[in-house]
Structure 1
Amino acid sequence: MDRRELADFLRSRRERITPAEVGLPAGRRRRTPGLRREEVARLAFISPEYYSRLEQARGPRPSREVLAGLARALRLSDAERVHLHQLAGAPPTPPPGPPREVRPSILDLIERLPLSAAFVTAADYEVLAWNDLAAALMEDFSAVPRGERNLLRRAFLGSLYGVSDRAEFERSSTRQLRAVVARYPNDPEVRALVDDLHRGSERFRALWASHDVASSPTLRKTFHHPLVGPVTVNCDALDVADRDQRVVIYTAVPGSASEEALRLLSVVGTQQLGDAHV
């Protein structure tokens, strides 16, 4: 525990927050910017005396419950929350399972990508968000239950077909899943996914038994679309590190027949696709 750095950090975060931001009256006499110590203590549900001792670098090590209260009261960002825990000598515990809430800025990003099929996956390959062109090229994910939006389930147990790299996807995703299990060993959804794949797929069992964890990215693939025919796209994936998520973007070579196919799909959407799948 670095008491001096913790004290300075708490003071700096307290001084940047105005009373109005947390629903408190400003009052007339405030000798320092931001909140008062007793106001932070009240918002964090701890005693003013204890909080004052923390800012004076003479308090005992705060518990995780106290740190959570301080992070909430001081409106800390994810990075600031991690820093607070580290200063207190209590690194934050990892989330029990893969985060599944997509940041609004990422949702806005995939909607703004021109002529690009883009979607967001959780660490365990659940499709969390997608734009209209991804739905038209791959499948209308909104039309299927959440449990069926997992690309691993589609590959090994369901209807992931019509794409050129299915075998390579099965290999690389199995390797990635083994790393996910190591990161989230107690998550029931991840465990249920692995169990279901073991029970339902001989190929998954063989790939899982290899214990491989390294994988190489797929840079290009071809979708055999029932409406517009073959669509060859470049594949790029952007990691959202703080959420353990991935933004996958499919684009076609400018001026190619595949770009024209994507342009047509962007107009047609999912209206005439029937039971089209990846």
Structure 2
Amino acid sequence: MATTTLPEFLRARRERLQPEPTGRRRTPGLRREEVAARAGVSVTWYTWLEQGRGGVPSDEVLERLARALELDETNREMLFLLAHARPPPRRYTPPAEVTPALQRVLDNLRAPAFVKTPTFQIVAWNRAAVAVMGDYAAVPERDRNMLRRVFHPEAAAFLPHGDDMRRTCLAAFRVDIARAGASEEAAALVDELMATSEEFRRLWAENELHTHGVRSRRLVRPGVGELVFEASMFSVDDSDGLGMVVLSPADDASARGVEQLLRELEHSTG
């Protein structure tokens, strides 16, 4: 099947819009001149665009077309992909709330898992995460942050390879906040850690960038020793930047350690 073209996409979205009730119309959707007026472009140029000969629109014009055609975020992204072969610039919006369905996904996992925002704030978790990493509900909300945790002076007690953890977390954090768009929350977090952590200042100056990928993570827990995990991050659809991190035990000993910690948690909480 041939891929959708920009002219086909524009026509299809225009024809789906409901015009104002002004009498009988022979054609579905809006007319080209109505879309052009909404977008603030000439009718001739918009007509050429639908005919595949209007040139390459700028980002600003594409944004106006997206509003004129009442596109949601998925269709706005498609508009930019068809016109420029790249996604649109990110517009910062506060991360969406965790839905009951997403929480059920977490709760059905026996491996530690949690949901984070682009600024690495942990906003949801499961019992395995509590068993392995502690009860997030028992600490102030500001302390439920991955960067604050790994750059905390006491992190060495449970991170046997803390330098690697800090380095990879910070590199992925820089990518995530760039994708999400500038925010006061991200700027404030960076300023705070720059002021309080010499290690953060050193690594921040290196300007290392990479995505999360699948990373090996090692944690030390009393009674079970060192646990080895493969950390994977999954984007959550329609959530404005939320990501689910799953820590899969990398060997049998680590899997047994997680199960032991879960049994101890269940016993202590009844």
User: After TM superposition, is the score higher than 0.5?
Assistant: yes
What are the ranges of 5 or more consecutive residues in structure 1 without an aligned counterpart? 273-278
Question: Which residue, 35, 46, 50 being the options, matches 2:38?
Answer: 46
Cα deviation digits, residues 98-157 of structure 1 (max 9, x gap): x622674654432322x1110122333221321232133212223434322111112224
What letter matches 1:251 in structure 2? S
SS in 1 for 2:220: strand
Residues 1:189 and 2:188 aligned together: no
- Asked if the contact 1:127/1:150 (under 8 Å) is kept, the reply is yes
Q: Structure 1-normalised TM-score?
A: 0.65
SS at match of 2:107: helix
Q: Do residues 168 (structure 1) and 167 (structure 2) align?
A: no
Q: Does 1:109 align with 2:141?
A: no
1:1-278 map, 5 Å: 5-13=5-13, 36-37=29-30, 46=38, 54=46, 57=50, 63=61, 66-70=64-68, 73=70, 76-78=72-74, 80-87=75-82, 92-96=88-92, 100-101=95-96, 104=99, 106-113=102-109, 115-157=110-152, 160=155, 161-180=157-176, 183=179, 186-213=182-209, 218-225=215-222, 229-230=224-225, 232-240=227-235, 244-252=241-249, 253=251, 257-265=256-264, 267-268=266-267, 271=269
Amino acid at match of 2:220: F
CA 1:167–1:154 in 2, change beyond 3 Å: closer, same or farther?
same
Shift of 1:199: 0.8
Higher relative contact order (CA 8 A, sep 6+): 1
CA distance in 2, matches of 1:70, 1:135: 47
- State the SS of the aligned residue for 1:116: coil
Q: Distance in 1 between matches of 2:178 and 2:148?
A: 19
Equivalent residue of 1:142, what SS? helix
CA distance in 2, matches of 1:174, 1:65: 32
Report the TM-score when normalising by structure 2.
Answer: 0.66
- C-alpha change, 1:46 and 1:102, in structure 2 (3 Å) is same
Contact 1:181 1:190 in 2 (8 A): yes
Does structure 1 conserve the Cα–Cα contact (< 8 Å) formed by 2:165 and 2:217? no
What do the CA deviations read for 1:54-113 (whole angstroms, capped 9, x no partner)?
A: 578379968456334345x35x452x211224556696322247x622674654432322
For 1:112, give the aligned amino acid. Answer: N
Encode CA deviations 1:195-253: one digit per residue, 9 max, x unaligned. Answer: 1111101222223333443588542423314xx54362422313428755542212344
Unpaired segments ≥5 residues, structure 2: none
Distance 2:162 2:13 in 1: 50
Identity %: 28
Q: Determine helix, strand or coil for the equivalent of 2:115.
A: strand
